[in-house]
Amino acid sequence: KAGLDDLKGLRTGHLVLGASTIPGEYLLPRLIGGFREKCPGIKIVLKIAGTGRVGRWIREREIDLGIIGAPLEGEGINCVPWIQDHMVLIVPPLHAWVDKKSVGVTDFEDVDLVLREPGSGTRQTLERILGEKNIFLSKMNRIMELGSTRAVITAVESGLGVSIVSRFAVRESLELGRVCEIRINGFNLSRYLYQVSQPHGIGGYANEAFIDFINDIETCKRCLLL
């Protein structure tokens, strides 16, 4: 495989990436920027869609590599954990929960929830984590389901309700005080983002080099400002 020291040898090439919303909008643009500093001759296309569609792109060989928010299984796909993402509960700055250090699951019975649409990696992760505690979104007050995490965060900023989203996505809004983070008692809201690719190492040299690049811990920290 291509090592980081070999990247400058990649003069030309073409790489097609696919990603679900969180990695596609908040992580990969920074990583692609860092990669192209070393390999400016590599032309990169990034396609963003839901986790399921990214999986179909891999199976149909429309992309070289996918990054998604929930694991996929099945023939014609190789899925491995990549980096850890932390889901956080966010509320508007004037919400009644702001004065609390933490809340319990029963507190959600009387609160308005803003969620991602069914099938998204974020939604699947949330359903899995809650389901392990026998808690179901279908029994909660879901006032709105939106097609992007950015739209969910904007809805919370506007005071429409509360939500649980990726820390990667909400980092700027938290730093600017547009939303507030509240801890949920008894829950580990961590998840992994996953790399999906074609089995048996199908893919070009540029693809292997990019995988090596994003798998380097220090590279990720530098590019993602962690």
Cβ burial, residue 146 (10 Å; 0-12/13-18/19+)? middle
Q: Within 13 Å, how many C-alpha atoms sit on residue 22's CB side? A: 29
Instruction: Specify whether 47 is located in the same domain as 57.
Output: yes
How far, in Å, are 111, 138, 149, 168 from residue 121 at the CA level?
23, 17, 11, 14
Instruction: Specify whether 147 is located in the same domain as 53.
Output: no
Task: Report residue 44 as tokens.
Answer: 């990169």
Confidence class of residue 10 from pLDDT cuts 50, 70 and 90?
low
Give the Cα separation of 24 and 50 in Å (integer). Answer: 10
Instruction: Specify whether 8 is located in the same domain as 44.
Output: yes
What CATH number corresponds to the domain at position 206?
3.40.190.10
Kindly state the DSSP code that residue 162 receives in the 8-state scheme: B
Confidence class of residue 5 from pLDDT cuts 50, 70 and 90?
very low
Instruction: Specify whether 138 is located in the same domain as 106.
Output: yes
Q: Nearest Cα to 44, choosing from 25, 26, 81, 18?
A: 18
Torsion angle of the four alpha carbons 216, 60, 192, 81, in this order, in degrees rounded to the nearest 10: -50
**pLDDT for res 188:** 85
Instruction: Specify whether 167 is located in the same domain as 200.
Output: no
| Planar angle of CA 26, 32, 33, nearest 5 degrees | 95
Task: Report residue 176 as tokens.
Answer: 């600017």
180-184 and 102-103 strand pairing: parallel
Instruction: Specify whether 205 is located in the same domain as 219.
Output: yes
Give me the number of domains the chain comprises: 2
Task: Report residue 19 as tokens.
Answer: 């990603």
Report yes or no: 195 and 80 within 8 Å, Cβ to Cβ.
Answer: yes
Give the Cα separation of 224 and 173 in Å (integer). Answer: 16
Provide mean pLDDT across the span 144-152: 94
Confidence class of residue 9 from pLDDT cuts 50, 70 and 90?
low
Provide mean pLDDT across the span 183-203: 86
Provide mean pLDDT across the span 77-98: 95
Give the Cα separation of 211 and 78 in Å (integer). Answer: 13
**What is the pTM (predicted TM-score) of this model?**
0.86
Cβ burial, residue 69 (10 Å; 0-12/13-18/19+)? buried
Provide mean pLDDT across the span 11-17: 86
Give the Cα separation of 125 and 123 in Å (integer). Answer: 5
Instruction: Specify whether 220 is located in the same domain as 131.
Output: no
Distance of CA 77 to the CA centre of its chain: 19
Q: Which residue segment(s) compose the domain that 132 sits in? A: 84-190
Task: Report residue 143 as tokens.
Answer: 């006032």
Bridge partners (DSSP) listed for residue 48: 19
What CATH number corresponds to the domain at position 116?
3.40.190.290
Where is pLDDT greater, at 32 or 187?
A: 32
Instruction: Specify whether 9 is located in the same domain as 101.
Output: no
Instruction: Specify whether 108 is located in the same domain as 139.
Output: yes
